[in-house]
Amino acid sequence: MRAAVIHASRDVRVEEVPDPVIRRPTDAVVRVLLSCICGTDLWAYRGMASFQPGQRTGHEFVGVVEDVGADVMGYAAGDLVVVPFVWSDGICGYCAEGLTTSCEQGGFWGTRGSDGGQGEAVRVPYADGTLVRLPGEAASDRRLLTALLTLSDVLGTGHHGALGAGVGPGTTVAVVGDGAVGLCGVLAAKRLGAERIIALGRHPSRTAIATAFGATDIVPERGETAVEAVRELTRGRGVPAVIEAVGTEQSMWTALQIARDGGSIGCVGVPHGSDTGLDLSDVFERNIALRGGVAPVRTYIPQLLPDVLDGVIDPSPVFDLSIGLEGIPGGYQAMDERTALKVLISY
Amino acid sequence: MRAAVIHASRDVRVEEVPDPVIRRPTDAVVRVLLSCICGTDLWAYRGMASFQPGQRTGHEFVGVVEDVGADVMGYAAGDLVVVPFVWSDGICGYCAEGLTTSCEQGGFWGTRGSDGGQGEAVRVPYADGTLVRLPGEAASDRRLLTALLTLSDVLGTGHHGALGAGVGPGTTVAVVGDGAVGLCGVLAAKRLGAERIIALGRHPSRTAIATAFGATDIVPERGETAVEAVRELTRGRGVPAVIEAVGTEQSMWTALQIARDGGSIGCVGVPHGSDTGLDLSDVFERNIALRGGVAPVRTYIPQLLPDVLDGVIDPSPVFDLSIGLEGIPGGYQAMDERTALKVLISY
């Protein structure tokens, strides 16, 4: 089959790889219908995260089960499924608690010996724990299937950020970052009942989506000017809830500065650098809570799925470029150059 | 009157200072009955925190109201009161929310123009917001008055750490640090219903108090050995709740290492150093929540007071050395040399 492979920084190729087969009785093989490129894929692409040359790429996909191992009880060939960005066994203590990203048998797509989501098919470990079934008719509804694809990562990650920020009915929340996760944070905050949603982002095409997703205010400034703007919008006080959806030193600083004393920052931007510019003394003096992390989206899919199926929320606008499998290298380039927000890949 | 003044590192003197008087109509003057020396006082004493040479010291005291300004409605001369380590107006938005440490009119004892708790009397700003009345008969019960003094800081701070760690009925919690705050963290966790309380501390006289306060396990090791010991006590998993009551790089590292994925660290040790050795990537990957900060003890006093008055909890054993006013320099030395855990000052 064909799949995307990263060989070096800025060298992602689509090439022939072995067809996936059932290796363990708990495996399934899923033929991919849609996958996509994630902001976190860019870190390896830019040489800013380590990778094994030759490893597969991509970790978000929906598809159809093609084969299952002898121990897989819940799925059969022909099932339409969405697959989280971390596989998990579904039965360990962490999975039972809903923290599927800490699963004792869990792992990330593209790591040694595993397939990536940017390919024609994928061997899925612990299929019963990992996969989530979708109604079969969604396969023929392109818009809906695209929306469902976000359950793999960005929608659940935005939801995790909103939960970490403590968003609930009536909350005023700010979202730092206008990437797909930040936009899904806006959507998730709206869904959870936030009353005022301040989106920080400087790309008009992206902040337009934020507005469509429920943002009530847009702050296009950066740095101290952005902090002043948010404080002005909140009578000098800052916001009690912040979703941090970037993970850089600058964005963490901004999140902290716009947070109201006693507020919570829901951190879902993967931190780059060990300290990420975080002034713990300031965090301490102002009683700011830092919550969040790698989102256990497997746990969130059943919670979010009904609203996506019913059209209560439609995250599909986060995709603004659609390509085929052979276009993946160009898709990376487009996201790297920020000419695309998030790239959809059809098979 | 006489009060303690810090002139330089390791140079605290008791000297004549002006008697406090009502300056604003919201002030009260409180004659001090008991005060004490705090671990945080040592940072200036050791030259590791900035101070104005000549400034007053101490921020924990109980006493009797001697005079009140014209606008003070709730207190009158003769009232026995306990005073939190931060004054607060009681009426701003933050006070209304219970975050009295972020009060818009709030401040710390010993800062420019204000008295310190280690003196014969103190001018208390915003008396109605700041003071908490105690039953007058407690003044003649030395053990009880000593216990009530901890409401000024360490008991409320331990409670804040326990809340930040998410302690509730049945929780397994670890407490990093066997100083007065750590010990009060044990007591607060026990009061909140923790089932298992693992106290990390290497001073037998202190861990004996931890045991008396409700600790079920003592880990005297430090560093990686301590982490291994806690993991062994918890089947390799670590604890879902950690109270961090030291604030150093080493203690933050330990707190993070012993925390179970998805757990919470209630941070009440004042951070020393801006990053404090915190690996944000690890925090993120394991979904550890960091909560806490400067404890709004004014809010907690009414919650904790009944249990102290009724003898349900008795934090008085955290004091292991009792001195008079003139003995304050020796008291600092004893705490600096760790021959005393916490020093009580009688007037």
Summarised one tens digit per residue, pLDDT across range A120-149 is: 999 999 999 999 999 999 999 999 999 999
The partner residue sitting opposite A293, judged by closest CB among B97, B99, B284, is: B284
Q: What residue in B sits closest to A268 (Cα-Cα)?
A: B284
CB contact (8 A) between residue A293 and residue B276: no
pLDDT tier for residue A180 given thresholds of 50, 70 and 90? very high
A182 and A126 within one domain = no
Angle at B208 between CA B243 and CA B118, to 5 degrees: 70
Residue A288 lies in domain: 157-292
Q: What is the pLDDT of residue B100?
A: 98
**B chain contacts of residue A283, beta-carbon cutoff 8 Å:** 271, 290, 293
Q: What is the pLDDT of residue A272?
A: 77
DSSP readout, A180-232?
HHHHHHHHHHHHTT-SEEEEE---HHHHHHHHHHT-SEEE---HHHHHHHHHH
CB contact (8 A) between residue A283 and residue B290: yes
Higher per-residue pLDDT: A334 or A47: A334
- Residue A278 clears pLDDT 80, i.e. is over it: no
Q: Is residue A140 within 8 angstroms of chain B, CB to CB?
A: no
Alpha-carbon dihedral A92, A94, A99, A103, rounded to 10 degrees: -50
A91 and A170 within one domain = no
> A249, A270, A292: which is the final residue of a domain?
A292
CB contact (8 A) between residue B237 and residue A93: yes
Residue B207: give its domain's CATH number: 3.40.50.720
Helix (H, G, I), strand (E, B) or coil at A125: coil
> B252, B272, B292: which is the final residue of a domain?
B292
In this prediction the pTM is 0.95
Number of domains in chain B: 2
CB contact (8 A) between residue A284 and residue B291: no
Checking ipTM against 0.90, whether it exceeds it is yes
CB A295 within 8 Å of CB A304: no
B135 and B40 within one domain = yes
Interface test with B, best of A160, A239, A261 (most B CBs within 10 A): A261
B255 and B313 within one domain = no
Q: Is residue B43 within 8 angstroms of chain A, CB to CB?
A: no
Q: Report which of A110, A59, A45, A62 is spatially closest to residue A331, judged by C-alpha positions.
A: A45
Q: Is residue A104 within 8 angstroms of chain B, CB to CB?
A: no
Residue A127: give its domain's CATH number: 3.90.180.10
CB A127 within 8 Å of CB A75: yes
Q: Is residue B278 within 8 angstroms of chain A, CB to CB?
A: yes
Structure tokens at B125: 């700003």
A235 and A168 within one domain = yes
Summarised one tens digit per residue, pLDDT across range A81-114 is: 999 999 999 999 999 999 999 999 999 999 989 9
Query: For A41-56, what is the mean pLDDT?
Result: 91
Summarised one tens digit per residue, pLDDT across range A311-333 is: 999 999 999 999 999 999 999 99
Q: What residue in B sits closest to A289 (Cα-Cα)?
A: B291
The whole-angstrom separation of Cα A121 and Cα A246 is 30
**B chain contacts of residue A245, beta-carbon cutoff 8 Å:** none
Q: What residue in B sits closest to A283 (Cα-Cα)?
A: B293
Structure tokens at A45: 């692409």
A165 and A58 within one domain = no
Pick out chain B residues at pLDDT < 70.
273-277
B327 and B264 within one domain = no
A174 and A79 within one domain = no
For β-strands B55-56 and B2-8, DSSP reports them as antiparallel
A205 and A304 within one domain = no
Q: What residue in B sits closest to A160 (Cα-Cα)?
A: B287
Q: What is the pLDDT of residue B340?
A: 97
- Residue A274 clears pLDDT 60, i.e. is over it: no
> A275, A292, A309: which is the final residue of a domain?
A292
The whole-angstrom separation of Cα A1 and Cα B347 is 85
The whole-angstrom separation of Cα B215 and Cα B182 is 11
A137 and A76 within one domain = yes
Contacts across the A-B interface (CB distance below 8 Å): 97
Percent of chain A predicted with pLDDT > 90: 93
Q: What is the pLDDT of residue B276?
A: 57
A211 and A168 within one domain = yes
CB contact (8 A) between residue B294 and residue A285: yes
For residue A270, give how far its alpha carbon lies from the nearest alpha carbon of chain B (Å): 7
Q: What is the pLDDT of residue A302?
A: 98
B223 and B132 within one domain = no
Cβ atoms within 10 Å of B241's Cβ, excluding its own: 27
